[in-house]
Amino acid sequence: MKHKYIDQNITETLESNYMPYAMSVIVSRALPEIDGFKPSHRKLLYTMYKMGLLTGNRTKSANIVGQTMRLNPHGDAAIYETMVRLSRGNEALNMPFIDSKGNFGKVYSRDMAYAASRYTEAKLDAFCAELFGDIDKDSVDFVPNYDNTMKEPTLLPTSFPNILVNPNLGIAVGMACNICSFNLEEVCRTTIELLKNPDHDILSTLKAPDFSTGAEILWNRNQLEDIYATGRGSIRLRAKWHYLKKENIIEVTQIPYTTTVEAIIDKVTELIKAGKIKEISDMRDETGLNGLKIAIDLKRGVDPDQLMLKLMKMTPLMDSFSCNFNILVAGTPKVMGVREILNEWSAFRIECVRRAMFFDLGKKKERLHLLKGLKKILLDIDKAIKIIRETEEDALVVPNLMIGFGIDKLQAEYVAEIKLRNINKQYILNRIADVEDLEKEIADLEATVNDIKKVKKIIIKQLEHIIKKYPSPRKTEIVLDHEVEEYNAEENIEDYAVNVFVTKEGYFKKITPLSLRMGGEHKLKEGDEIFQSFETTNKTDIVFLTNNGQAYKAKLHEFDDTKASVLGDYIPAKLGMEQGENVVFTFITKDYSGELLYFFENGKAAKIPVSGFETKTNRKKLTNAVSTASPLVSALHITEDTAVFIETSGGRGLCINSVLIPLKTTKTTIGVNTVTLKKNQKVVSACVAEKSVYKNLTRYTSRAIPASGALLKDENPVEVQLTLE
């Protein structure tokens, strides 16, 4: 059997096969629209509304799921998950839409699974009346469902900005959204003020996001203003807790919306196993009928405030919510700030209200038209009765009435349908009296529907009614960012004397003086040797220079204390160096003062300030730390100008003062010539002059550079281990 292969451009394949899927996910699945709902939410809630669950009793969730499949064919599991998130029991929303009964899980728990749909019951919460008001008055567009057997709304005519009241997370293709929730009263109040004054200061009424899980938000004006303006940014949240002094227990009762109880406990357990937290004796999840609770048993003498600051720093007890207000507007995804979102919602709501008013206007005009026909009958009721009685065929009654009174078909139909008991004069006079009221109502409606200011007043009244009817105190407490004490790891690190050793093969040891005295000889790999050692303290910074011209910074307290009898930490692995990258030289510093002298094989030397290695963000890796134009032979850390002794492969020595080497701010400077080298010669070492093994250094001293130095005298220098200052 022969196979046919057709060459096709990859871009054409993507456009024809992948783009339709991508667009479907973006427009019809993952991103919310201006009413605050994704299609799955909207289909579920509308189905429940049509089932009469806004005012009726609860029904089994399985029944609701089954009915929803008439609009949403994606399977019962996906529908039920959507239902769980919208429920009061799950506590994922500030203002839940579903009044639930049974186990619906908890948003703050990863492992607390919800019960199957056959066990739980649900109905629409009374709050949903604000979602469906005027939906039967053509306030929104309706489209056929997937099999064209019924109609469904494209949007819900929400009478409040639901898009900001409840959180929304969606991951589409190539884009996503993550909308934080705000307090219902604050959102409604802000919308009212914006309808009155487009230049209203939003931050004065919309204080900060508000999450269903409570906790505390670290309030930073600049951050919030940026989020409100652009729709992007990050918000920091931290857990709420209290200390039971008698039991020596910390109880965490509210956690950030972005994490779970299990994630917190797992992280703390990991830190305890790593030896980074030693103050906790036990930790339990005591969540029950009274809500969330994490109990932390403390060891004796532990400061609970300091421990919680440490846990906030190292675990999800303090977490960030990344905002991305990406919303579908007229079928197009758009990232908007709060003002733009509320303006879009206001425009949408104005349109909904006007459409409902047009619907009422049409109905009233139809009624008025019929009553005007009835008014003509009033002139001669007997004539109308006579026409009907004398008409032999039923189909001719309406045409005869139209001819007899000069009315149209609709009016004649209305008259013909009047019951026999209602053809008395009083009934007809009462109906005609309604004409004046109808004409007045129609005039008022026409005046309102064409006046945006009057429509805005209606919306403002509705929002004020919602504020009054659904009181919503803040769940998330606001704490000023600058008033929050941050955990300072440096302050809590014990400082003590240590000895540091670095070997040629790249192994590192940090040993206390006591352990060093009692430890015996160093354990080293075969052929390895110690080429640098320092006496310092545990709070010192250490910088490793590599053969790739890069520097790696670390703090000595990040290395475990060890013994001379072990190999120690392998630096390239510990610091995540690149393949083939090795340590060339190391220096230690506390305040990044002084200068660093680089000596290269080609006879050049460079002097740079150590302060160039200090970074505000505590970066571990610094690229372009040393010039790679020539191999680095030696590096000296000096705090003041000093004499330096340089030895070459040609058997010559040169002693110069470091003041002759100009200070450069660029770490990758190739330096200046210090030694005049003959062909195939190179610098082999450099050290502080006073540590040189050679005597009579004046013989080798030069007051200018470059210089050739002097031949080394055969003084049989004993081999000593050089150390870097």
Q: Are residues 464 and 514 in the same domain?
A: no
The CATH number of the domain holding residue 247 is 3.30.1360.40
Q: Is residue 659 included in any domain, yes or no?
A: yes
Same domain for 632 and 508, yes or no, is yes
- The answer to whether the CB of 85 falls within 8 A of the CB of 108 is no
Domain that holds residue 246: 240-316
Tokens of 386: 């006579």
CATH number of the CATH domain containing 423: 1.10.268.10
pTM of this prediction exceeds 0.75: no
Burial 166-192 (b: 16+ CB within 10 A, else e): bbbebebeebebbbbbbbbbbbbbbbb
The mean pLDDT value for 517-521 works out to: 81
Q: Between vectors from CA 567 to CA 564 and to CA 573, what angle results, nearest 5°? A: 135
pLDDT for 426-439, tens place per residue? Answer: 777 777 777 888 88
What was the pLDDT predicted at 433? Answer: 76
Q: Is residue 513 part of a domain?
A: yes
Out of 316, 334, 365, a domain closes at: 316
Say which amino acid occupies 255: I
551 in any annotated domain: yes
The owner of tokens 């227990």 is 249
Residue of higher predicted confidence among 619 and 337? 337
Per-residue tokens: 542: 């250490």
Phi–psi pair at 542, nearest 5 degrees: -130, 140
Give mean pLDDT, residues 514-537: 85
Across 59-68, 224-233, 504-513, least confident range? 504-513
Is residue 658 scored above 70 in pLDDT?
yes
pLDDT exceeds 70 at position 722: no
Domain end among 142, 157, 172: 157
d(CA 645, CA 687): 5
- Sort 330 into a burial class: Cβ within 10 Å, 0-12 / 13-18 / 19+: exposed
Residue 102: predicted pLDDT: 94
Q: How confident is the model at residue 381 (pLDDT cuts 50, 70, 90)?
A: confident
In 3-state terms, what secondary structure has residue 678?
Answer: coil
Same domain, 143 and 249: no
- With cut-offs at 50, 70 and 90, classify the pLDDT of residue 109: very high
Secondary structure (3-state) at 471: coil
Which of 107, 112, 106, 162 is closest to 133 using CA atoms?
162
Weakest mean pLDDT among 45-59, 469-483, 684-698: 684-698
Beta carbons within 10 angstroms of residue 208's beta carbon: 24
119 is known as an active-site residue? yes
Catalytic-labelled residue, pool 5, 18, 114, 119: 119
Which of 374-378, 604-608, 609-613 holds the top average pLDDT? Answer: 604-608
The rounded mean pLDDT for the chain is 88
Share of the chain above pLDDT 70, in %: 96
Contact 143, 169 (CB under 8 A): no
Percent of the chain with pLDDT over 90: 48
Place 226 in a pLDDT band, splitting at 50, 70 and 90. Answer: very high
- Cα–Cα distances in angstroms (integers) from residue 252 to residues 215, 249, 265, 297, in the given order: 10, 10, 11, 12
Distance, CA of 180 to CA of 323 (rounded, Å): 7
Q: How many domains does one find in the chain?
A: 4
| Residue 2's pLDDT band (cuts 50, 70, 90) | low
Inside any domain, residue 4: no
Whether residue 723 is predicted with pLDDT greater than 80 in this model: the reply is no
* Tokens standing for residue 437: 């009221």
292: in domain: yes
Q: Which of 116, 132, 157 is the last residue of a domain?
A: 157
- Answer yes or no: is pLDDT of 611 > 80: yes
Give the H or E element holding residue 233: strand 232-238
3-state helix, strand, coil in the chain (%, to 5): 35, 25, 40
- 30 assigned to some structural domain: no
135-153: per-residue pLDDT in tens?
999 999 999 999 999 999 9
**CB-based contacts of 435, cutoff 8 Å, min separation 6:** 368, 371, 372, 375
Same domain? For 595 and 504 the reply is yes
Between 296 and 386, the more confident residue is 296
Nearest partner of 506 among 614, 588, 580, 599, judged by Cα: 580
One domain, residues 557 and 438? no
Residue 176 lies in a domain: no
Same domain, 505 and 459: no
Taking Cα atoms as reference points, which of 601, 427, 619, 635 lies closest to residue 531? 635
For 577, residues 6+ apart whose C-beta sits below 8 A from its C-beta are 546, 552, 571
The answer to whether position 205 is within a domain reads: no
Most confidently modeled of 239-243, 287-291, 536-540? 239-243
| Residue 540 identity (one-letter amino acid) | T
CATH number for the domain harbouring residue 118: 3.90.199.10
- My answer on whether 449 and 518 are in the same domain is no
For 209-219, what is each residue's pLDDT tens digit? 999 999 999 99
Residues 524, 434, single domain; the answer is no
pLDDT of 724: 45
Question: With 60 as the cut, is the pLDDT of residue 529 above it?
Answer: yes
CB-side exposure of 98: number of CA atoms within 13 Å? 32
Domain containing residue 530: CATH number: 2.120.10.90
| 445 and 513 belong to one structural domain | no
Same domain, 572 and 707: yes
Judge if 302 and 369 occupy the same domain: no
Q: In what order do the strands lie in the sheet with 121-124?
A: 59-60, 121-124, 98-101
Regarding whether 503 and 640 lie in a shared domain, the answer is yes
Q: Residue 569's closest CA among 521, 507, 498, 500?
A: 507
3-class SS letters over 247-266: CCEEEEEECCCCCCHHHHHH
